[in-house]
């Protein structure tokens, strides 16, 4: 049935931006949203551990091709070197200030040099 609306989104249609500049060289993106556990166990719990949802946490991992001319790539590298947060918008899911905590260079024999980047949320955008 032509022109029927999709009820899904392909990963290739998603975007990741650094300071408003879209990263074109990104291959794979993983967004991890989690919640900490708060132990609220009491004697009233009858021997079972009781928990409540605690603080939320967000991290984002992505693979980016090495681009020595790329401004956005240079921004990520500089953020890792300086330990300063950068504005990051991921797939319309999360937008805020992120610290780059992982910046691993991969040099596969038959592929382009690339980096595995891990970013953790410092402050959510208002």
27-80 confidence digits (pLDDT tens): 889 999 999 999 999 999 999 999 999 999 999 999 999 988 877 788 899 999
**Region of residue 91 (phi > 0: left; psi between -120 and 50: alpha; otherwise: beta):** left
Residue 121 reports pLDDT greater than 90 = yes
**pLDDT score of 72:** 77
Residue 95 burial by CB count (10 A; 0-12/13-18/19+): exposed, middle or buried? middle
| pTM of structure | 0.82
Q: For residue 102, what are its two tokens?
A: 């992982």
pLDDT band at residue 2 under the 50/70/90 scheme: low
Which run of H or E residues covers position 80? helix 71-82
pLDDT band at residue 21 under the 50/70/90 scheme: confident
CATH of span 11-124: 2.40.30
How do the domains of the chain map onto residue ranges? Answer: 11-124
């Amino acid at each position: 049935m032509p022109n029927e609306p999709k009820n899904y989104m392909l990963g290739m249609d998603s975007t990741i931006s650094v300071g408003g500049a879209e990263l074109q060289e990104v291959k794979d993106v993983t967004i991890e949203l989690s919640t900490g556990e708060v132990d609220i166990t009491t004697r009233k719990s009858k021997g079972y551990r009781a928990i409540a949802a605690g603080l939320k946490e967000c991290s984002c991992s992505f693979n980016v091709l090495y681009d020595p001319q790329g401004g956005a790539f240079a921004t990520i590298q500089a953020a890792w070197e300086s330990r300063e947060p950068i504005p990051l918008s991921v797939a319309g899911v999360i937008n805020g200030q992120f610290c780059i905590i992982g910046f691993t260079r991969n040099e596969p024999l038959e592929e382009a040099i690339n980096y595995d980047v891990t970013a953790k949320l410092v402050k959510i955008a208002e």
